[in-house]
Amino acid sequence: MRCCRVAYSSIPKQYRDYFSKPTLQINEFFMSFHQSATASHHCSMPTNQISNPQNNPQPNDSYPPKDMEDITHFLLELDALKRVNRRSYVTNTDRRENSAEHSWHLAMACWSIAELFELDVNHEKLLKMALIHDLGEIDAGDTFLYADTRQDAHIKERDGIARLQSERGNGIADLSKIWEEQETGNSAETQLLKVVDRLLPFLLNLNTEGKTWRELGVTRSQVAGAHAFIQDSFAPIHKWLSHNIDYATQQGWLIDK
């Protein structure tokens, strides 16, 4: 406890008698003085500051009216992304990763890489795009990177995003706009997102002894081709990928053709 000196004249008159009495009553003084000061402080504060301090803002529940049934309906629509399984396996398990897990991993990876490389990107925009980039899979399902139908996957996914945009309880007015930018745009944020979106499943395969690659008979040329664009947009990552494509081929995880 810190001690301080208080001028006798600065003590309100009604409390001065306490200082000529035993310690117990001096303690009572401090308790009484504190209660009085606290009450005075609250009385002088505007009502809105007492109920709604600036450091703890409260939601405006008067306008527009919010229907919690609608709000929770949309939240459960988003929850459905957890039921969409991808082809990559989670490390140290025998189960496949789901698209919600991938979206979280992508957001964190983009954030970390942007910081480490001191990239000139809008972090809020980047994280939003990462979080929603696979939402269309709730309706369309996941399409394997090397599947013949890969080029048409965006059609069903775009329809799924349009449905989510119009769902009751959706508070994200620009959901479709953000999804469209990550899908077809060419901003610095979009380029980084696409690089890391390819990096992560590659990383999972590399750390599960090529489990997905081996199960589906993926070739070296397929993997090299799918990651070739990274040479122009992020050369250090492409160099690492190329080295590990060679390693995976040597291990027999990728078919050498």
For 214, phi and psi rounded to 5 degrees? -70, -40
- The answer as to whether 245 is a domain residue is yes
Same domain, 33 and 92: no
pLDDT confidence bin for 105, thresholds 50/70/90: very high
Pairing of strands 96-98, 85-89: antiparallel
Residue 47 pLDDT > 50: no
- Find the domain containing 190 and state its range: 68-250
Same domain, 7 and 133: no
Over residues 142-194, the pLDDT tens digits come to 998 888 887 788 899 999 999 999 999 999 999 999 999 999 999 999 999 99
Helix pair angle (123-132, 188-206), 10° resolution = 50
Is this model's pTM higher than 0.85 or not? no
- The answer as to whether 104 is a domain residue is yes
- The answer as to whether 31 is a domain residue is yes
pLDDT at 32: 54
Whether the ω angle into residue 12 lies within 30 degrees of 0, i.e. cis, is no
pLDDT confidence bin for 41, thresholds 50/70/90: very low
H or E segment to which residue 96 belongs: strand 96-98
Give the whole-angstrom CA distance, residue 175 versus residue 120. Answer: 23
Instruction: Provide the percentage of residues in the chain whose pLDDT is more than 70.
Output: 75
Residue 44 is encoded by which pair of tokens?
């002088």
Same domain, 16 and 83: no
**Lowest mean per-residue pLDDT among 28-42, 80-94, 102-116:** 28-42
Same domain, 141 and 73: yes
Give the whole-angstrom CA distance, residue 119 versus residue 116. Answer: 8
Q: Could you give the number of structural domains in the chain?
A: 2
Over residues 199-208, the pLDDT tens digits come to 999 999 999 9
- The answer as to whether 56 is a domain residue is no
